[in-house]
A and B are shown apart, each in its own frame.
Chain A
Amino acid sequence: MIIKTHKDIPASEITDPLVFKQRRQIIKVMMGSLVAGVSSSALAETKTEWNHAPKANTTAAPLITTSSEIVNNHTNYYEFTFNKTDATQLAQSLPTDPWSVEISGEVEKPAVYHLEDMLSQQSLQEYIYRFRCVEAWSMVVPWIGFPLANLLKMAKPLSSAQFVQFTSIYDPKTMPNQRDNAMLEWPYVEGLRIDEAMHPLTILATGMYGESMPKQNGAPLRLVVPWKYGFKSIKAIAKIELVKRPPTTTWNKFAPNDYGFYSNVNPEVPHPRWSQNSERQLGSGFFTPRRKTELFNGYGSQVASLYSDMDLRHFF
């Protein structure tokens, strides 16, 4: 089953033949392998949905997923390295099985879940989202996951729960930059306002491209918030806390003028040192113009209401 994102993609994003080929390959991969917990019928549905021609008006084209090879080899995983390519190799040393996730704070039912138990209680679906990095590149990834709201509801947040704080795994044995205390404060912490966390577009992902999540992409469980810059979508989540006050998030603490708490994708609000007006789509060919970045990464029709009273320049 596919989650519609109510997004019309302009005709300027016509598929490159290469991307088409890659897409076929991805479909083949999807047919070949199943994620634990994803029923084969669900995947079969995904496939058929995926091959449907776009129904929307004439200016619409489907979101073209980026080749999995690119997504697998282009990750910012600063716990391991500052190099996007080397992270693929280095992240393989992270033990992800068994994995447990703690849910605590302002909830009625705090719990520590074994990951398998958590996933068995959720129905996994495919979410094809555009992923926009603060470094002005983007890709389209078919995530496998479930709405964060479903998990939070099970913990029963108290009315005092105003924010959600996520903490990544702290494993200095396998993560060189945690061991060396390099650059950022570890472990990595991210946060959302409670209404952002409960939004149906906000998911916890445990796989992509029809397979379980590669370690460099945030296995075994990561957040995906498609209307925010990529660094908000924290990887390898160990703890989810519901809290009263806004959490101090890692990048915001490191450079508060550069990376705000909200970090909503917004072409009108440049980073202090570079423009956010356009983005390079990974997989696009040489001499292809960049893509004009959209407010809320194109998910404005669903999330703009969350920020209706806010000055987005101030709350960047």
Chain B
Amino acid sequence: MFFRSINRWLIITLACFLPLIAISIDIATDNLGADPIQALHIRLGDWSLRFLWLTLAITPLQTLSKWRGMTAYRQMLGLIAFFYATLHVLVYLSVDHGLDWHLIAIDIFESPYIWLGVLAYIIIFSLAITSPKFAKKSLGKNWKKVHRLIYLAAIAVIIHYYWQLKGNMAEPLFYLILLALLLGFRIAVWVKNRQFNKMMIPSTRKIRVTTVPKSLDIKQSGVPSKSSLNELIIEEVDES
């Protein structure tokens, strides 16, 4: 059973590199069309986006299916998204710009759509380097907070996608809808939890709980002693 699950993980991980193999074959056979540099750049970006979306899909799937074994996949898919994003950035810098840093600097400075790409990459980079177990341990409670930045990265990515288009906004609509569903799921869970909490303390009937000392054995500090906590007064508070 253990080996089977390891094998499945390994096979899926290797499958994540199939797009890279397909792209490599297209490079080797000169099958990237009339603008091969842009085609390469965009295809790597597309796959980074897809793996990021898959990463975001794990938690909803886990919640809906009640299957608890998917956290390992979430980490792996996130790292694959980082891998394709890194190639996307490297192609931009080297294949497209030939590492001409002057042109690169102007291009980034003058292109708001790239700012969002840069923001997304910085986030995904930070998440990737804090992905190993020891980083998770050392970050403690903050780890979860830091890794919630993935939502911001995903939003930056979809705007990055939209803003580089000349006008046909229908193209990334599919991914926008998926992202809305993925983030919407989390909002729904959050709202539900909040309502659940509210049910515990109904907002329409606020209650005040006070303790009244049973006797006069209050210490000098004014703090009631344990024995004095016996009497609780629960009174309803009228909001109006």
- A residues within 8 Å of B by Cβ? 69-71, 73-74, 78, 82, 84-85, 134-135, 137, 183-184, 251, 254-255, 258, 270, 272-278, 280, 282, 284, 286-290, 292
In the A-B complex, the 6 residue pairs with the closest CB atoms: A275-B110, A289-B98, A74-B34, A289-B100, A270-B110, A274-B111
Binds A, one of B15-23, B164-172, B231-239: B164-172
Question: Contacts of B34 on A, CB cut-off 8 Å?
Answer: 69-71, 73-74, 84-85, 282
Enumerate chain B residues within 8 angstroms of A278, measured Cβ to Cβ.
97, 103, 106-107
- With A82-B168, A134-B166, A183-B167 in contact, do A273 and B37 touch (Cβ < 8 Å)? no
Query: Within the assembled complex, what's the spacing in Å between the Cα atoms of A254 and B168?
Result: 11
Q: How far is the CA of A282 from the CA of B36 in the complex (A)?
A: 9
Please list 30 pairs of residues, one from A and one from B, whose beta carbons are closer than 8 Å in the complex, sorted by A's number: A82-B171, A84-B34, A85-B34, A137-B35, A183-B170, A251-B167, A254-B167, A255-B167, A273-B163, A274-B110, A274-B112, A274-B114, A274-B164, A275-B109, A277-B103, A277-B106, A278-B97, A278-B103, A278-B107, A280-B38, A286-B37, A286-B95, A287-B95, A287-B98, A287-B99, A289-B99, A289-B103, A290-B97, A290-B100, A290-B103
CA distance A74 to B170 in the complex (A): 20
A154 to chain B, nearest CB (A): 36
* Contact residues in B for A286 (Cβ distance below 8 Å): 36-37, 95
CB <8 Å contact, B106 and A280: no
Cβ distance B8 to chain A, nearest Cβ, rounded Å: 37
* C-alpha spacing A82/B169, complex, angstroms: 11
Whether B96 contacts A290 by the Cβ 8 Å rule is yes
A273-B175 Cα distance, complex, nearest whole Å: 20
| A127: min CB distance to chain B, Å | 21
B62 interface hit (Cβ, 8 Å):
no
Best-buried of A71, A280, A284 by chain B (most CB within 10 Å): A280
The answer to whether A74 and B37 touch (CB under 8 A), given A134-B166, A273-B111, is: no
Residues A275 and B111 in contact, CB atoms below 8 Å apart: yes
* A287 lies within 8 A of B163 (CB): no
The complex places the Cα of A135 from the Cα of B163 at a distance, in Å, of 12
CB distance from A279 to the nearest CB of B (A): 10
The A contact surface, by secondary structure, is loop
Nearest chain A residue, comparing its CB with the CB of B108: A275
B193 within 8 A of A: no
Inter-chain contact B35/A275, CB cutoff 8 Å: no
User: Does B211 lie at the interface of the complex (its beta carbon under 8 Å from any beta carbon of A)?
Assistant: no
Known contacts A290-B96, A290-B100: A85-B33 contact under CB 8 Å? yes
Using C-beta atoms within 8 Å of the partner chain, give the interface range for chain B.
20 to 34
- Chain A residues within an 8 Å CB radius of B99: 287, 289
- Digitize B94-130: 1 where CB-to-A-CB distance is under 8 Å, 0 elsewhere: 1111111001001111111110000000000000000
Shortest B35–chain A CB gap in Å is 6
One of A273, A280, A288 near B113 (C-beta < 8 A) = A273
Q: Which residues of A contact B167 (CB under 8 A)?
A: 183-184, 251, 254-255, 258
Once the chains bind, are A292 and B112 in contact (CB under 8 Å)? no
Chain B residues contacting A275 (CB-CB under 8 Å) are 106-111
* Cross-chain contact A273 with B112 (CB below 8 angstroms): yes
Measured in the bound complex, the distance between the Cα atoms of B110 and A270 in whole Å is: 7
B111 and A74 form a contact (CB under 8 A): no
Q: Which residue of A lies closest to B27 (CB)?
A: A286
- In contact, A272 and B35 (Cβ under 8 angstroms): no
Q: Are B35 and A280 in contact, with the CB atoms below 8 A?
A: yes
Instruction: For B112, give the chain A residue with the smallest CB separation.
Output: A273
Report whether B110 and A135 are in contact in the complex, using a CB–CB cutoff of 8 Å.
Answer: no
Q: In the complex, what residue of chain B is closest to A85 when comparing beta carbons?
A: B33
**A280: B residues at CB distance < 8 A:** 35, 37-38, 96
**CB of A285, distance to nearest CB on chain B (Å):** 9
Note all chain B residues with C-beta closer than 8 A to A258.
167
A74 proximity list for chain B (CB < 8 A): 33-35
- CA A84 – CA B39 in complex, angstroms? 11
Given A135-B166, A287-B98, A289-B98: A270 in contact with B111 (beta carbons within 8 A) = yes
Nearest-neighbour CB distance to chain B for A291, whole angstroms, equals 9
In whole angstroms, what is the CA distance A80 to B54 when docked? 33
Q: Contact at A287–B94, with CB atoms within 8 Å?
A: yes
Residues of A contacting B106 with CB < 8 Å? 275, 277-278
- Chain A nearest CB from B218 CB (Å) reads 69
Q: How far is the CA of A245 from the CA of B106 in the complex (A)?
A: 37
Cβ A277 vs Cβ B110 within 8 A: yes
In the complex, the answer to whether B113 meets A292 with C-beta atoms within 8 Å is no
Of residues A258, A272, A287, which shows the largest number of chain B Cβ atoms within 10 Å of its Cβ? A287
**Complexed CA–CA distance, A276 and B94 (Å):** 19
On chain A, the residues within 8 Å of B113 by CB distance are 273-274
CA distance A85 to B42 in the complex (A): 15
